[in-house]
A = this chain, B = another copy of it.
Amino acid sequence: MKIISGSLMELSAHLARQTDSQDDAVIEERVKAIIAEVKAKGDQALFSYTEQFDQVALAKLKLDLTEIERGYQETAPEVVQALEAAKANITSFHLKQKQSGFVDAEKAGVIRGQLVLPIETVGIYVPGGTARYPSSVLMNALPAKIAGVKRIVMVTPASPEGLPPGLLAAAKICGIEEIYQVGGAQGIAALAFGTETIPKVDKIVGPGNVYVATAKKILFGTVAIDMIAGPSEVVVLADEAANPAFIAADLLSQAEHDVLARAILITTSQLIAEKVNEELESQLVTLPRGAIAREALDNHGAIFVVEDVTSQFALMNQIAPEHLEIQLADPLAHLSRVKHAGSVFLGAYASEPLGDYLAGPNHVLPTSGTARFFSPLGVEDFVKRTAFISYTKEALAAEKTEVMILAREEGLEAHARAIQVRFEEEKK
């Protein structure tokens, strides 16, 4: 990987130049056409796109419960056990995110409060194709279950060999009973509008490719969505005492995802920079997805050598990475320097893949700098708030003047009169 040294100002300017302004007008038009077709033709469009894009002539969209059960049975017991262990950790972490509403009855005659209600129906998109992601099923479904979502609908691209057993095992472990074999923009459109077979949902969550992300964006408003995901990224902050082999392995675990994945090391040590590069080379040799990882490192990876820890965090916060590893002495002490990051891994043994699978925090995370404003997927994504107020006549009397003044200040006389009428003798 290229090693770039410089002052904070130089490196910050370097990073700022890297914002890719991808023109996706062509993709957008294609996705819009797919959406229109699914809206107009329902299931028929889904069968047709599945044949076209996934090379599968489906007999039906929905899996039977027996098919889900069979996938579970066909999954290796140690995989089932590992999924159950992951479920336990994910559940215990996400239970702490659960919020309740509140009631405020501090003022005489006034009750104010907020309900927190589960979203009724949620669609989970699980990527497919050559990949299989049972862990994504857990990460999407378990927070929804904890939030109290009544109906969870999973869609995932059809595959000529049928859906991977591990995926079905994960679904069963989460209690998912509705799985539809349809992916891409057509799968998102089906969830947004509903078809003869697939129910219309209130919110769609889960990562996908650029077609999925574009469809989610276009349909935002018709349904809610979690976030718009881009390529995955990790930033590792390391000092001279960090272990180059660990760092290289973690960078590679990011880079193997995708040729667009971004693996970045920011270190105060030129020596560590060089050693990590050596380790990358030696570890790459035997990596099954080595070609993908190498392309990602070459095109999107970088090692920045900076002057001090302040510069490390300044650059990191500028990137606002999806994953952040802090491989510095006393890592917890640096947590307050983190302004923008999806998920933070503290110390030499909190390796990023641990978070991908088992630790418990969610692995559906904001990418491409959107950690400035988006959050990891969580229980909060599956609830909505409703406010309420109750006022007695006396309580309203105490505040009616201010309401009427403000309504009239805004030129909304009917607003003022709605208050006034409640104090007119003849109207009672």
Contacts and interface: CB of A to CB of B under 8 A. Distances in A.
Contacts of A43: none
Given A96-B104, A352-B418, A422-B246, A387 B413 contact: no
A144 interface: no
B343 A386 contact: yes
Interface size bucket, A side? 35 or more
Contact of A402 (B257, B358, B395): B358
Interface in A197-229: 202-203, 217, 220-221, 223-224, 228
Contacts of A221: 217, 228, 370
State the oligomeric state as a number of copies. Answer: 2
Nearest to A413: B288
Interface in A290-349: 293, 331-332, 335, 338-349
B403 A357 contact: yes
Contacts of A131: 410-411
Given A405-B79, A414-B293, A427-B243, A386 B371 contact: yes
Contact of A403 (B288, B353, B372, B387): B353
A220 B220 contact: yes
Interface in A374-428: 374-376, 378, 380, 384-393, 395-396, 399, 401-403, 405-407, 409-419, 421-422, 424, 427-428
Nearest to A78: B405
Contact of A411 (B76, B110, B132, B396): B132
A427 B276 CA distance: 12
A359 B422 CA distance: 16
Interface of A: 76, 78-79, 81-83, 85-86, 89, 92-93, 96-97, 99, 102, 104, 106, 110-112, 114-115, 117, 119-120, 131-135, 166, 202-203, 217, 220-221, 223-224, 228, 243, 245-246, 249-250, 252-253, 255-257, 283, 287-289, 293, 331-332, 335, 338-362, 366, 370-376, 378, 380, 384-393, 395-396, 399, 401-403, 405-407, 409-419, 421-422, 424, 427-428
